[in-house]
Amino acid sequence: MASINLIEAFQEFKDAENIDRPTLMKVVEDVFKTLLRKKYGSDDNFDVIVNAEKGDLEIVRRRMIVADGEVNDPLAEIAYKDATKIEPDFEVGEELYQEVDIMDFGRRAILAAKQTLASRISDLKKNVLVKKYNERVGEIISAEVYQVWKKEILLLDEEGSELILPKSEQIPQDYFKKGENVRAVVKKVDLKNNSPVIILSRTHPSFLSKLLEIEVPEIFDGLIVIKKIVREPGERAKVAVESYDDRIDPVGACVGMKGSRIHGIVRELKNENIDVINWTANSQLLIQRSLTPARISSMELNNETMQADVYLKPDQVSLAIGRRGVNIKLAQELTGYSIDVFRDTEGEPEEFDIDLEEFSDEIENWVLDELKRIGCDTARSVLNLTAEELERRTDLEKETIADVRKVLQAEFEKE
């Protein structure tokens, strides 16, 4: 049997899962029919027979035996005298099957065919990978860290396909080592230099959504629906949920007994605080819930300009704003309203206070800005917080906080 060893090329097919046998046969057949057309001008009377198991193939040529001198189409017909040279007992009218020695194509043509085959295999692998991961966008997968770089991490899935987790898609507190298993959501499939690049994410809201689906059976079963998720990765997240069954408390189901369901997710997200709230079509109530853990005294809404003026007791202002303003930022993203926070001092005796701006000659502006960021815009609002709480909620050093408190306290002692 005339054959050419293509074991290496076939092995690449076998190693690439999801490339089926018929596809293999068709690709090899196409490559060698192209070779036949170049040599004979047509491939109509040739059969390419592929043995995928052994990694070889043979090409059979079919011609009709006609009487001497009556050959009109040399590709499809052969004269009787020529046929009997191959096999003496042939007769006119019979069909002659003859194996083609592939080496007759020449070494250069054979090498070109193998290169074409390898290229086609590579394209098929890419197409299979793109199709597979396009169907898995939004799903959580687990992959092994293969290489850690400054701007991204290279991971391998269970089939050895390469996946990318960019630094921008990592939680700030993430730290990975080679060989470690990482869970992330498939964000998108990009094409770079005609090669698929699968991008993963641990910061996308869908990652938290899928983690909740895994931990909370009621979400998986469709009894509880996640209406919206907003996140500041590694800091805080707000999840609005709604139940389609009046007997189920959506918030309680998501948090679990003593926080059993949410704790695992919090650990996965590097201690990201997760506020689970009941979704409502009532904008005022939704804003109130979204500013958790702060308690609102009153509110003024303008639905046309999507503006909300929220009034809180002085001790609740910093809770509403949150560390680095994260809480109020997420509340705005969740509700779609622009929220302004005001101190509600109604009903309370007016207490002498001093605006922080008055201390700009004694306290550096960047320190004042840091205090304002956590909702402290007056001297008393700073002094009402303990030194430990100020250190925890700001980026200020212990010594700086002590100096600030000393300056502010001294002003009140003068009065």
Ordered alpha helix ranges (H), 99-187: 107-134
Residue 254 lies in a domain: no
The answer on 337 and 292 residing in a single domain is yes
- pLDDT for residue 265: 93
Contact 398, 390 (CB under 8 A): no
The pLDDT assigned to 97 comes to: 82
Query: Do 121 and 140 have their domain in common?
Result: no
Q: What CATH code is carried by the domain that includes residue 336?
A: 3.30.300.20
Distance, in Å, from the CA atom of 54 to the CA atom of 57, rounded to the nearest integer, reads 9
- Residue pointed to by tokens 């009532």: 282
- 317: domain range? 280-341
Residue the block writes with tokens 């980026």 = 395
Tokens of 23: 């596809």
Q: pLDDT at position 151, please?
A: 92
Confidence at residue 368, expressed as pLDDT on a 0 to 100 scale: 86
pLDDT along the chain (415 residues), means of 10: 46 54 74 80 78 68 82 81 81 80 75 77 81 91 94 91 94 92 93 87 95 93 94 94 90 90 92 92 93 88 91 85 88 93 65 73 84 81 85 85 88 65
Q: Residue 98: what pLDDT?
A: 78
Asked whether 351 and 379 are in contact (CB, 8 A), the reply is no
- Residue 398 belongs to some domain of the structure: yes
- Which regions of 102-223 does DSSP assign to beta strands (E)? 140-148, 152-156, 162-166, 181-192, 195-201
How far, in Å, CA of 293 to CA of 286, rounded? 13
Question: Do 161 and 180 fall within a single domain?
Answer: yes
Residues 289 and 323 both lie in one domain = yes
Tell me, yes or no, whether 109 lies in a domain: yes
- Judge whether 410 lies within some domain: yes
Number of folded domains in the chain? 4
Residue 232: inside a domain, yes or no?
A: no
Same domain, 162 and 192: yes
3-class secondary structure, 9: helix
Question: Among the three residues 184, 201, 218, which one is the final residue of a domain in this structure?
Answer: 201
Write down which residue in 125, 158, 183 finishes a domain.
Answer: 125
Say what the pLDDT of residue 15 is: 52
* Token pair listed for 157: 């899935």
CA end-to-end span of the chain? 109
189-208: burial string, b at 16+ Cβ within 10 Å, e else: beeeeeebbbbbbbbbbbbb
146 and 194 fall within a common domain:
yes
